Amino acid sequence: MELHGLIFHPCFFLHPPESVRVFRIESGGTGNVSAAWWKKFAACPFTNVEEMTLNTQHMALGNWTSSDDEEEQQNDIKFWIFGVGDVKMENLRKFRAPLLETLQISHGPLDLLERVLKKNPQLDEDSVKRLSAACMLDKAYQMETADLMDENVYCDQNQVC
């Protein structure tokens, strides 16, 4: 199953049929997804998917939201820096997420790569190396910026920085 760009709305997640073995999202510049999408993604078991490629990033507030969207109702920057807590997928042999592997804090859930790595012990060596390196990079970045988040250096929509 291969998806190019968004389908309907950034929070719409299309569950793949059980017959799908390869799952790819190739953004083509439109692979922005919402926090709601990431939560649905993490809850999907991807039962028979063995190979996954994600070229997605977390979308910031923009003109795609409506007043009903959970993201539109959040003014706190900490809402936008989030984790999924767990993933249901357990059968992956290959996993690539180029944007997430560079720096998760800008492109998706902070804990996603670590959760994928832990829940999928049969990942190939290349996937394990890339995910492990990305997790170490993210942990270092999080430690470096933790003080900034705690001190509320970031501004919400109602503040002037």
pTM exceeds 0.85: no
Q: What is the pLDDT of residues 59-97, one digit of tens each?
A: 654 444 455 555 555 555 555 567 788 999 999 999 998
Q: Partners of 51 in the beta sheet?
A: 22, 94
Residue at token pair 């767990």: 86
Q: What is the pLDDT of residues 83-136, one digit of tens each?
A: 788 999 999 999 998 877 776 555 678 888 999 999 999 999 999 999 999 888
Query: How many CB atoms are located within 10 Å of the residue 8 CB?
Result: 7
